[in-house]
A = this chain, B = another copy of it.
Amino acid sequence: MSDKINRIVLAFSGGLDTSVILKWLQQTYNCEVVTFTADLGQGEELEPARAKARLMGVKEEHIFIDDLREEFVADYVFPMMRSNALYEGLYLLGTSIARPLIAKRQIEIAKMVGADAVSHGATGKGNDQVRFELGYYALSPDIKVIAPWREWDLTSRTKLIEFAEKNQIPIAKDKRGESPFSTDANMLHTSSEGKVLEDPWDEVPDYVYSRTVNPEDAPDAPEYITIDFERGDGVAINGVAMSPATLLETLNDYGRKHGIGRLDLVENRFVGMKSRGMYETPGGTIYHFAHRGIEQVTLDRGAAHLKDELAPRYAELIYNGFWFSPEREMLQAAIDHSQEKVTGTVRLKLYKGGVYIVGRKSPYSLYSEKVVTFEDDAGAYDQRDAAGFIKLNALRLRLLGRRDR
């Protein structure tokens, strides 16, 4: 295995950091760099990335800009949402779930262009380096991975800017100064962390939020919507059929308007430290509750409780970067098996930051008014059965009680 690298595929946003990385890779490894820019619905123009790559000498056929929005929602966000996963009880995993798709596409491109290395712009303290690299290695075990933030000596903002200037890398005006926090965005969420957010006692300043209005500024009247599900996935809003990405974007609009999905979290990173982040997941938050709602009437108790027990582990796997692992796939197989009849309609009320499930119906509903009713149930349920049920459930406790009490 020689250490000489011939061609590197870089996950390239077109921003200052990955532009510096692009140049640094070209200089340090003296080899061709291929750029890959993904549209995951982060809401930025991607053509400037193309221009920048060209400017820095990347060959036309080595500039990849891919619209992955539908794949992102259909093959990553929706499968995850089927699990109702919440990392540490609260977080919808918006960053975590995007990384495996980027890694997968990057490896596909590496194979196409015959590259022997990949690179990314994630720092050495965060989770994203792990997520990217576990994806790379799982999909291409012998690929070389270059993580400039762990290798170079551009260890301060000042040095980075100096490097950019020395190398004629254009610097957007607002990037000259230190940003008061750093962000990551895709169609599912925007995360913010660092600097002004670093003291977990200080409330997140309002200017940090970018994807949602402040609940206090949201409409004074609630709005009702319905979401239709088929086999566990959303397919329509208010009766209008939509593709996965369109559906999520539409929910994002509702969420933005009603101030839904803001989360201020102190979380435990896989690399061993606690960090404080602020997340906005407008549409995803609505979707999460809607999915819970449709499962309430269509999922059997045994399936539902097993899912609830597996969900924290599943969430942890995604958070830690193990999307492409046998154990995540095993859990997915179990979860997906449960979703066959998760079909129907949920009605939601959106109001000033809140999502309320107010109705659910399904052709496959397991809810039986006939059985549960306080009224005469015409023999659908024999209350006397409960006596035996309790007696046998109590038997071991009685034997124990006789011994211990």
Known: A129-B390, A369-B199, A388-B388. A341 touches B403 (CB 8 A): yes
Cβ of A405 < 8 Å from any Cβ of B?
A: yes
Tell me, rounded to whole Å, the shortest Cβ–Cβ distance linking A210 to chain B.
17
- With most chain B CB atoms within 10 A of its CB, the pick from A216, A266, A325, A351 is A266
Stretch of A8-16, A55-63, A228-236, A356-364 with 4 or more beta carbons under 8 angstroms from chain B: A356-364
Residue from B133, B200, B360, B385 in contact with A361 in the complex, judged by beta carbons closer than 8 Å: B200
Residue from B130, B312, B374 in contact with A390 in the complex, judged by beta carbons closer than 8 Å: B130
Bitwise, A101-116 to B at CB < 8 A (1) or not (0) is 0000000000000000
- B391 and A385 form a contact (CB under 8 A): yes
* Chain B positions within 8 Å of A316 at CB level: 305
- B302 and A358 form a contact (CB under 8 A): no
- B400 and A392 form a contact (CB under 8 A): no
Alpha-carbon gap, A376 to B89, bound state (A): 31
- B374 and A385 form a contact (CB under 8 A): no
Residue from B130, B303, B387 in contact with A327 in the complex, judged by beta carbons closer than 8 Å: B303
Cβ of A45 < 8 Å from any Cβ of B?
A: no
Taking the full assembly, how many copies of this chain does it contain?
4
Cβ of A90 < 8 Å from any Cβ of B?
A: yes
A296 to chain B: closest residue by CB: B266
* Chain B positions within 8 Å of A372 at CB level: 125, 198, 273-276
Segment 300-351 of A: residues with Cβ below 8 Å from B: 300-309, 311-313, 316, 322, 324-327, 329-331, 333-338, 341, 347, 349, 351
List 19 contacting pairs A-B, 8 Å CB cutoff, sorted by A.
Answer: A124-B383, A125-B386, A141-B401, A201-B361, A215-B351, A264-B356, A265-B296, A266-B296, A268-B305, A272-B392, A272-B396, A302-B322, A302-B327, A309-B309, A326-B337, A366-B403, A371-B395, A389-B392, A389-B393
Q: Residues on A close to B: CB < 8 A?
A: 1, 84, 88-90, 123-125, 129-130, 133-134, 137-142, 147, 149-150, 155-156, 182, 194-195, 198-204, 215-216, 220-222, 262, 264-268, 271-276, 292, 296-297, 299-309, 311-313, 316, 322, 324-327, 329-331, 333-338, 341, 347, 349, 351-354, 356-361, 364-369, 371-376, 379, 381-405
Q: Which 4 A-B pairs have the closest CB atoms?
A: A388-B388, A124-B383, A272-B395, A268-B301
